Amino acid sequence: MRDLAALLISLVNIDRHSLIAILTSEAEAAQRSVKAARQRTAAQRSKRRQTADHLARIERILCFFERGEIAPEMSADDIELCKSVEQRLHGPGPT
């Protein structure tokens, strides 16, 4: 799992469409990991739970950039991160 904050902060000169494509790809990879995760041991269950939480976070951030919506479960840090990236985006906003 990649660090989402580091990924978003590292992006420069990117348009909204490209950002959404990157986040969608990250979400698909996380979804595959959740589906493939074994749950036999406590450690495996914990890893799967972490991956599912990561997927949910990606989906909330993706929702922000696709529709301009802040999910009720979104953390204050993620809201601040999204707004910061939003200010640097090039290209049209959500329609």
Query: Does residue 77 form part of some domain?
Result: yes
Q: Please tell me the pTM assigned to this model.
A: 0.82
Query: Does residue 93 form part of some domain?
Result: no
Domain encompassing residue 30? 4-88
Q: Which of the two residues, 94 and 11, has the higher pLDDT score?
A: 11
> Which pLDDT score is estimated for 4?
85
Query: Does residue 81 form part of some domain?
Result: yes
> Which pLDDT score is estimated for 5?
86
Query: Does residue 51 form part of some domain?
Result: yes
Residue written as token pair 């997927």? 55
> Which pLDDT score is estimated for 94?
57
Nearest to 1 by CA among 19, 26, 28: 26
- pLDDT-derived band at 48 (thresholds 50, 70, 90) equals very high
Query: Does residue 94 form part of some domain?
Result: no
**Separation CA 4–CA 89 (nearest Å):** 16
Q: What's the token pair of residue 60? A: 């909330």
Q: Which of the two residues, 47 and 94, has the higher pLDDT score?
A: 47
In one-letter notation, the amino acid at residue 31 is Q
Q: How many distinct structural domains can be found in the chain?
A: 1
Decide if pLDDT at 92 tops 70: no
**Separation CA 43–CA 53 (nearest Å):** 15
Residues 3 and 77 sit within 8 Å (Cβ to Cβ): no
Query: Does residue 24 form part of some domain?
Result: yes
